[in-house]
Structure 1
Amino acid sequence: MNFHDSAKAEQELLRAIASGNVESIARTTVDNIWPLFNSHFELLRSAVESLPNSVLDRRPILRALHPMTPVLARTTRPFKPLMSPDEARIMTPDELDVLTLVQIIAFRASGDVAASLIYARRLEDRIAFTKGNSRDRIDGPLWFYHYQIGSTLLAAGESSRALLQFTIARELGRLSLQEDAERLVLARTALAYAVRGSLSDAETTLAEAALQPQSTIAHRESSITAERTAAALIGVERMVSNVDELLSNLEPYDSIAMSWPLALLVRARSLLARLRPDEALEAVCLARDAHPPQHGSFASDVISSVYLEALWGVGDATTAQNVIEAQTKPGMLTLSAIVRVSLHQSRTDLASSALRRLEQSRNLGPGQHANLLLLSAWHEMVQSGTLHSATVRQIWRLGLREDSRRLLATMPAQLIELTREGLSADEVAAFDQATEGLAHVDVQRRPVLTGSELRVLNALPVHATTADMAMSFHVSPNTIKSQLSSLYRKLGCSTRDEAVAIASRFHLFAHAAE
């Protein structure tokens, strides 16, 4: 396998194409894959497109390069290339490296991020413990291996480990003869920083990327989508005035780009922060239906969390609760959503459990730490009705940071007001100026009902009339009317249907059964 001399690689492929022999074209392409990929991508793609399926199926690396493969992989034809031990034994170390790289990309594109992660770790081990001639070359693919390992870690939600791989890839890219290697890596690095909430680092990295040469055609789409998504993440977290313009630059919901879950996250965060949950629900449903399930991945965490928060936002408490109960190994985003929905319901037991799991995470970035702090403050407010002075100071400091504007926008109005009550006049003025323009949701506290009120509440779905309830409980109709009046007052409603809906949202029926 030839990893250098792009001019020679081009000449050999052109001769093979002129011969018309598909086996010769395939063999020449595979033998010169790296220089062709970097320097003659359009010629490489044209050669691959000319090959019949029978030839492509025997060469996974060529199948991976066919433009139809990623499109079909997300729907009807997952691409998961495997290799028998006997076949692997006759391959050179360089050939095995490339095959493992193809498996990383193919399984990731097909929605199997867990398997892609296994192959990424396998390639990482090969780099560390197995000699490979191409890896020692300055014009070799080692930087690209680390870049793809980091990309898979990012797709799996392991952003801190992804950053380490991107750091290695960038240093190797600087040394390589490929002029756009550094820009490609910087784009994904900025994305990883933005996901972690390290917005200043993401911003600095984007600025560094902009100073690099434009990406070549082989890497242009990956570089552009990563840079645009990182910029949009920064803008949404800071809730900048041109956020809609940033969002318009993102790929559509059915994109096959690796960054599609992040594009969904950016859009949904913006919509939820601006109190537009119905649009966020539509966005997550469209994105979910356009891609294969990616269990255990960052994509599945994004989908579950957005779906849960949007459902609650549109008032579908029953489905939201079903989503919570269906979670077996929720990611950090989903755990945060569970805390939010539980606190809206005043379910402090569920919120406490999810908060503990968030606190145990060892890889929280700055934005995730800020989110945890605010959720813990909300939990404190629901439990005690007030905020400790230390909590007020923490929220105030967060409020003065532009990076926390979206997070503060997702907090209930009651929490913001309690924070203001604990500040001095000068601090209130600074806090109000920093949080100006943010819309907050009023949170209804879970009603505390007496035993008789709970009994009447549970009877509402069963008995059609007040007389039926009175007969069942062996009391007078006036007694039932009095208890209903008290129940409606506490629930803030005036009809039976409204009372049942509100009680369901706060899980008062389940509470009564306990």
Structure 2
Amino acid sequence: MSSGRWEQHLARPRLLSALSIPSRAVVVVGPSGAGASTLLRNWAQGRAAQWAVRGDIPDPTEGVLVVDDADTLSDDDWTRIHGLLAADPLLLLRAAVHDRRAVPAELQADFVTELCFTAEETRAYLALIGSPLDAAGAHRVTGGLPAAVRAIGQLKNLRAEQVSAALRDLHPQPLDAPDAHLAVPEVLTREVVAALGGSPGVLDRAEAAGQGEWAGDPGHPFFVLSAPVRAATAAAHPTPGSPSVHARAGRTLLAQRAWYGALLEGASAGSLDLVDAALKGGGLTLIRAHGASISTALRDIRLLDLRTWPVIAMAQALIFNARREHRLRAVELMGMALIGARRAPADGADRALLRVIEAVVRRLLGLGDDGVDAALTAARILRGLSPDELRKIDGLVEDLHSHSAITLMYGDRPEDALAEFERAFATARRPSGQLVAIGGAAMVHASSGDLVAAQTWVDIAGSRSWPEVLLNEYQGTPLRIAEAKIALERDDLDGAEVALNSVWHIIETVEHWPTLAHLRALLDIRLGRAEVGLEEFRALRRRRGRRKPRSQRRLLDLTDSALALAAGDMASARRLVDQGGDAAMLTLGVARVEIFDGRHERAQRRLAGIEVEAPEARAHLAVLEALILRRAGRPEEAATAARRARAIADAHGLRTPFLLVPAEDRALFGPEVIDVATPSLTARPAVPRLTSRERVILTELRGTASVGEIAERLHVSENTVKSQRRSLYRKLGVSSRDEAIAVAMGQGLFEAGTERGR
């Protein structure tokens, strides 16, 4: 096997760890150039190891027997190794092969595969050697084969002829002439070989010779010839008509439901209809599993060409949107997807798909009604599709239901959202789709305060086994949100912290970040760190930008206000103002600010006009009514409202409605109310209401003490400035410029961009 010197440059702990598992027989499997020999040598350094080769299996005097090129061992050699292992229970075997079938089954060996560089490892290696090559392109043309990456690493560009020459310099063995056309497709299956007229057994021979390896999902494995073998075969036996070969391979893979392979062949053939069909078949699972490779394969498609292929545009947008540095490109692609979705003639299944694309784009970009109407339309179409029509979008059905549900959830349509999540759960066959549906249903219930129903869905998730890569990524975020909400309401602060931290590493890209940030803020308030939490929240909000559904923007406003109240920053809290169409929790948040600000009558009028049904909103409403009644000198009615608040909260297991109850009012609600260092209402000085002209004078005084300069800048007389200054000083209770600036800073008047007197 080719040793390659790449290991001297890039440590690969994931593979060395795999060789170190507590198994007696571990075998490394990979094609020529994958670096298996070097991996064995690196692992054996510092260990008591003896090396064996064909016909020379030594008596073990050390603890490990290492066999490189174990494909070449004879049956007698394997029989001797088996006997040695049986005789010495402490002896370990570590070996390398091209084809795992060369290893006798009775050894019960564990196999280490995926020796090729990941895209990140390719990038890291090229950076180490100072290569100017585009890492994604280099990974694409080499397949990540370490020897191939090293071979092209010295090039200045990725011109096809130079890459091919560098790969041929590795002296790979090309395919035989009758099978040379099999080096054209990106991937091969036995069905593709048959469709292209390849010779029987060619893939088995190629694997044994180290010319390639099997990869892909267990349900749809495919064989990948190594990049050097493909280059050598193309040079030795040129094959005309490559696009047609790619297209025939793509159609065969499509019939096999091998979506990833079909997409790659469609892209290589320039056949966007194949790419479109593969994306519809593979759904979001395909995008999540192979996003980087798909992006590279589709990179040469012109943006304008995507106007007629909205599914392809949307797939690329989702891939780019997962990386913050590519967000602008994602927005551009979403715009193209939206244009395509609105223009494309479609009926039945395709119409449902296009409406969901429209809903998702509008939701992610915060356009119009945030996609609610499109989501409702898609849900209605999906319900009316026949089984035959559903089969046309078989791989997407669960995703369409889930994304309609997410749009409806953020569009303040919780009942419609819940119905779509339940349909997604009923139709989901893949673990990722099931997890999104279960977590989404739990999140809807938890957000409304129906913790009993939320816990039911959380228990359903807990009864199943999920890969960590799903639980702690986008698919698991709704479930983690529900878990964090339930933990917060139970005052299980450690549990809430664990749930939030499990997905916080994707806070910069996940669309559910406003909800995560809101729950983090509640936790910060509960832990008495509102000031720090407010700074961290605002920094996150600045980084994430403005594009989001209206409901999420308003949730962020509510979060900022709650943190500001807990931190005693009344000027900032006051920025939360009523807007038409607000959800109940926003109206309640505005009323809370008014109560803290001493505007009890105004808060009472606001609460009188609100209708709430969700348990959490009802509990918050009762809490605020009790606070107002107490300040109005109506203790009996205040006590009644407080008992109602406790009854609602106790029935649904809620505690956060009492989180911002002032210290002097906690006894009203009982001893179990959360003890948080909330600022007192009675101790708060009234903040003066300044007119617009008084605020202008205040701002000018901050820069200069000269009445003349201020008058000249404002184009008014000095007497006018003096008159407005006297009025300002009177309201602030001061007699000098310095005192006015000090009081204004203390009361946050310079920070408040929208004062009440405005």
TM-score per shorter chain, which class? 0.7 to 0.9
Aligned to 2:296: 49
Aligned to 1:422: none
| Change in 2 beyond 3 A, CA 1:503/1:52 | closer
| SS in structure 2 of the partner of residue 443 of structure 1 | coil
Aligned to 2:216: none
Give me the whole-angstrom Cα distance separating, in 2, the residues matched to 1:193 and 1:126.
25
TM-score normalized with structure 1 length: 0.73
Deviation of 1:148 after TM superposition, in Å, equals 1.4
Give me the whole-angstrom Cα distance separating, in 1, the residues matched to 2:260 and 2:652.
54
Deviation of 1:503 after TM superposition, in Å, equals 8.4
Alignment of 1:301-312 (within 5 A): 301-312=554-565
Deviation of 1:206 after TM superposition, in Å, equals 0.9
Give me the whole-angstrom Cα distance separating, in 1, the residues matched to 2:279 and 2:744.
65
Aligned to 2:587: 335
| Change in 2 beyond 3 A, CA 1:36/1:250 | closer
Aligned to 1:454: none
Alignment of 1:134-213 (within 5 A): 134-135=389-390, 139=394, 141-173=396-428, 177-178=429-430, 180-213=432-465
1:36 correspondence with 2:36: no
Deviation per CA, 1:121-155: give whole Å up to 9, x if none: 23124335676843268956433322211111112
1:88 correspondence with 2:344: yes
| Change in 2 beyond 3 A, CA 1:441/1:62 | same
Deviation of 1:38 after TM superposition, in Å, equals 6.6
Deviation of 1:202 after TM superposition, in Å, equals 1.3
Q: 1:444 aligns with which of 682, 685, 705?
A: 682
Deviation per CA, 1:304-354: give whole Å up to 9, x if none: 1122233344444344434427x4544333322211111112201331243
Q: Aligned letter for 2:301?
A: S
Q: Aligned letter for 1:61?
A: V
Deviation of 1:203 after TM superposition, in Å, equals 1.7
| Change in 2 beyond 3 A, CA 1:218/1:504 | closer
Aligned to 2:268: 21
Give me the whole-angstrom Cα distance separating, in 1, the residues matched to 2:472 and 2:567.
39
| Change in 2 beyond 3 A, CA 1:128/1:208 | closer
Give me the whole-angstrom Cα distance separating, in 2, the residues matched to 1:216 and 1:138.
28
Residue identity (%): 16
Q: Aligned letter for 1:272?
A: I
Give me the whole-angstrom Cα distance separating, in 1, the residues matched to 2:536 and 2:463.
34
Give me the whole-angstrom Cα distance separating, in 2, the residues matched to 1:9 and 1:219.
29
1:258 correspondence with 2:507: no
TM-score normalized with structure 2 length: 0.52
Q: 1:408 aligns with which of 626, 634, 658?
A: 658
| Change in 2 beyond 3 A, CA 1:387/1:497 | farther
Give me the whole-angstrom Cα distance separating, in 2, the residues matched to 1:5 and 1:163.
39
Which of the pair has more CA radius of gyration?
2
Q: Is the 8 A contact 1:147 1:166 kept in 2?
A: yes
Q: Aligned letter for 2:320?
A: M
Give me the whole-angstrom Cα distance separating, in 1, the residues matched to 2:375 and 2:684.
47
Aligned to 1:324: 577
Give me the whole-angstrom Cα distance separating, in 1, the residues matched to 2:482 and 2:660.
21
Aligned to 2:631: 382
Q: Aligned letter for 1:262?
A: T
Q: 2:502 aligns with which of 216, 237, 249?
A: 249
More strand by share: 2
Give me the whole-angstrom Cα distance separating, in 2, the residues matched to 1:23 and 1:328.
49
1:366 correspondence with 2:600: no
Q: Is the 8 A contact 1:107 1:113 kept in 2?
A: yes
Give me the whole-angstrom Cα distance separating, in 1, the residues matched to 2:545 and 2:384.
34
| Change in 2 beyond 3 A, CA 1:350/1:18 | same
Deviation of 1:60 after TM superposition, in Å, equals 2.6
Q: Is the 8 A contact 2:281 2:393 kept in 1?
A: no
Q: Is the 8 A contact 1:405 1:435 kept in 2?
A: yes
Q: Is the 8 A contact 2:439 2:458 kept in 1?
A: yes
Deviation of 1:104 after TM superposition, in Å, equals 2.3
| SS in structure 1 of the partner of residue 682 of structure 2 | coil
Give me the whole-angstrom Cα distance separating, in 2, the residues matched to 1:204 and 1:17.
42
Q: Aligned letter for 1:28?
A: L
Give me the whole-angstrom Cα distance separating, in 2, the residues matched to 1:222 and 1:182.
13
Q: Is the 8 A contact 1:254 1:286 kept in 2?
A: no
Q: Is the 8 A contact 2:525 2:676 kept in 1?
A: no
Give me the whole-angstrom Cα distance separating, in 2, the residues matched to 1:291 and 1:226.
19
Q: Is the 8 A contact 1:183 1:213 kept in 2?
A: no
Deviation of 1:187 after TM superposition, in Å, equals 0.9
Q: Is the 8 A contact 1:104 1:152 kept in 2?
A: yes
Q: Unpaired runs of 5+ in structure 1?
A: 420-430, 449-460, 465-471, 473-482, 489-494
RMSD (CA atoms): 4.2
Q: Is the 8 A contact 2:365 2:549 kept in 1?
A: no
| Change in 2 beyond 3 A, CA 1:444/1:196 | same
Give me the whole-angstrom Cα distance separating, in 2, the residues matched to 1:180 and 1:248.
20
Deviation of 1:234 after TM superposition, in Å, equals 1.3
Give me the whole-angstrom Cα distance separating, in 2, the residues matched to 1:400 and 1:86.
48
Q: Is the 8 A contact 2:623 2:642 kept in 1?
A: no
| SS in structure 1 of the partner of residue 504 of structure 2 | coil
Deviation per CA, 1:27-74: give whole Å up to 9, x if none: 222113243337755357623431125346513322322321454685
Deviation per CA, 1:72-124: give whole Å up to 9, x if none: 685565222234699523x4533333222222223323343724223212312
Deviation per CA, 1:449-471: give whole Å up to 9, x if none: xxxxxxxxxxxx99x9xxxxxxx
1:299 correspondence with 2:545: no
| Change in 2 beyond 3 A, CA 1:298/1:74 | farther
| SS in structure 1 of the partner of residue 382 of structure 2 | helix
Aligned to 2:5: none
Q: Is the 8 A contact 1:146 1:165 kept in 2?
A: yes
Give me the whole-angstrom Cα distance separating, in 1, the residues matched to 2:342 and 2:400.
24
Give me the whole-angstrom Cα distance separating, in 2, the residues matched to 1:6 and 1:39.
17
1:121 correspondence with 2:371: no
Q: Aligned letter for 2:447?
A: V
| SS in structure 2 of the partner of residue 324 of structure 1 | coil
Deviation per CA, 1:467-503: give whole Å up to 9, x if none: xxxxx9xxxxxxxxxx99xx99xxxxxx988877898
Give me the whole-angstrom Cα distance separating, in 2, the residues matched to 1:33 and 1:51.
12
Q: Is the 8 A contact 1:377 1:387 kept in 2?
A: no
| SS in structure 1 of the partner of residue 546 of structure 2 | coil
Deviation per CA, 1:237-292: give whole Å up to 9, x if none: 22214143333223258432232111011011122234433223223322322334
Deviation per CA, 1:415-456: give whole Å up to 9, x if none: 22244xxxxxxxxxxx43x346554442217789xxxxxxxx
| Change in 2 beyond 3 A, CA 1:51/1:501 | closer
Give me the whole-angstrom Cα distance separating, in 2, the residues matched to 1:16 and 1:264.
37
| Change in 2 beyond 3 A, CA 1:328/1:128 | same
Q: Unpaired runs of 5+ in structure 2?
A: 1-250, 687-697, 706-721, 723-729
Give me the whole-angstrom Cα distance separating, in 2, the residues matched to 1:211 and 1:272.
32
Equivalenced residues, count: 450
Q: Aligned letter for 2:607?
A: L
Q: Is the 8 A contact 2:404 2:420 kept in 1?
A: yes
Q: Is the 8 A contact 1:196 1:368 kept in 2?
A: yes
Q: Aligned letter for 2:481?
A: T
| Change in 2 beyond 3 A, CA 1:130/1:106 | same
